[in-house]
Chains A and B, each alone.
Chain A
């Protein structure tokens, strides 16, 4: 083999670059170059075909006054406010299910992660069917005497966003529970035993022994949930409500998609994308700082 002979003669460092030259090239051309172009285009008026015209901060000013954008921002904020439930409920479930060896639990574990395998689009479609006014959820509610709760879940501005969040919760909570269970099983049993000998109760054990060891997992899940809130709600919104009723479930990435690919406002869409990115980075930065602080 040619390169073998070459290597044996002259084992230089230059050869080492070949191992990652292609990924590095692709990352630069496909991610970094468009990212910097995006920053430039966000200061222009551009439809994607003609030459962009430089307009300064006009897009950013327009964005801050745009009621659509403020509404989408508010919806994204509401979705983010639900993040604690996505993090705490799986933790409670994991603590309850941990150390339980019944065969029932084994099948529960397997089922819990099943929604992970299903695409958000399909989950969205299934839940759209379940949440119809004459859908099975309302039928069940009526059967168990809660008929007053049977409403048009996705057709009301007040409940549509809530319904989407619940759908996302169905898809996410099992995976998070399993991640917690994996982390719990990695906790050193000796430390727990030592604590028991010293007579700590279950609550103290949780606060002082278990929680600190779960910290990396918490940081991971918080980051993932928040990034997912901004990035992936698109699939649910697109398939369940298309932003409606009215603009009640319009989120920022849905706004971006419409501005770019429906109305060809490419410059303005770039502005939205960058503002979303900035918000995600800032929130994530402060949260990680808060969660990894040294007491």
Chain B
């Protein structure tokens, strides 16, 4: 019984630690600078002030940044899902020369941090005039995640019995029919999990986005927030920054709530499939 109570206290403590900072942000976003300076925990005197902060944000371009992020992430996920599932299928169910070598060439990039290729890549892309382009950053993002995606999809398809493919082959289906009509529908849950993981990685990405999307018109939400913060903190208008944080969290938190059960298992699949 004592143990039960202690564990409950621990659980409550963890909940407070995890959502406390977020509640603080929401609580203080409708305040004015003076109000926030005076007291961090008092009731906001005029919740309507949030509208004022909100209007200021439109000028800062936060919604345009969110739209840009959405475009980049959707292109990225589409590329990732199509190519990783096809490659995962090929590596798990088809036979061809050099299979292992090609597989490890792709998987080997898992260990590469962006720092080891970013500079020549940036120079190459700026010479080809591919900077400030949604499609080129989406291609870089998806290439960056192929290693995980191919591994993930291969592990999933490896669990589907090969007899299924053989039966279809006997009925005269070719390998692409098998992919399209059997493997792709069966692979849907894995593709969704992988897409959700990609969403979080690339919606939140800062380093590459800052380097490859330099123009303010194509800036995505993460660098956008960093720039807004740098512009605003000189005036120490923390409530304004809090107001900016709230809309940027709506999409990720909605996706998190929808798919939270898939996340932990998705992230650890590599470790558990050993």
Contact = CB atoms under 8 A, between A and B. Distances in A.
A287 interface: no
A44 to B, nearest CB: 11
B162 to A, nearest CB: 15
Contact of A273 (B8, B118, B143): B118
Contact of A121 (B86, B123, B124, B226): B226
Nearest to B224: A121
Contacts of B206: 119-121, 234-235, 238
Nearest to A104: B11
Interface in B120-160: 120-124, 139-140, 142-144, 146-147, 150
Contact of B112 (A238, A257, A277): A277
Nearest to B238: A129
A28 B106 CA distance: 8
Given A97-B11, A220-B268, A121 B222 contact: yes
A129 B241 contact: yes
Interface residues of B, number: 94
23 contacts: A7-B176, A16-B95, A19-B90, A19-B94, A20-B91, A23-B87, A23-B146, A27-B106, A27-B109, A32-B105, A37-B120, A38-B116, A38-B117, A102-B7, A104-B8, A113-B256, A119-B204, A121-B204, A136-B24, A170-B18, A174-B18, A179-B267, A238-B226
Interface of B: 4, 7-8, 10-12, 14-15, 17-19, 21-22, 24-25, 37, 40-41, 83-84, 86-87, 89-91, 94-97, 102, 105-106, 109, 111-124, 139-140, 142-144, 146-147, 150, 172, 174-177, 179, 200, 203-207, 211, 222-223, 225-226, 229, 233, 238, 241-242, 245, 248-249, 252-253, 255-256, 260, 263-265, 267-268, 270-272, 274
Interface of A: 3-4, 7-8, 11, 13, 15-17, 19-20, 22-24, 26-28, 30-35, 37-38, 41, 48, 93, 96-97, 100, 102, 104-105, 107-108, 110-122, 125-130, 132, 134-136, 139, 170, 174-175, 178-179, 181-183, 186, 216-217, 219-220, 227, 230-231, 234-235, 238-239, 253, 256-257, 260-261, 266, 269-270, 272-274, 276-277, 280-281, 284
Given A20-B86, A179-B267, A220-B270, 7 more contacts: A16-B95, A107-B15, A170-B17, A174-B18, A277-B112, A280-B113, A284-B111
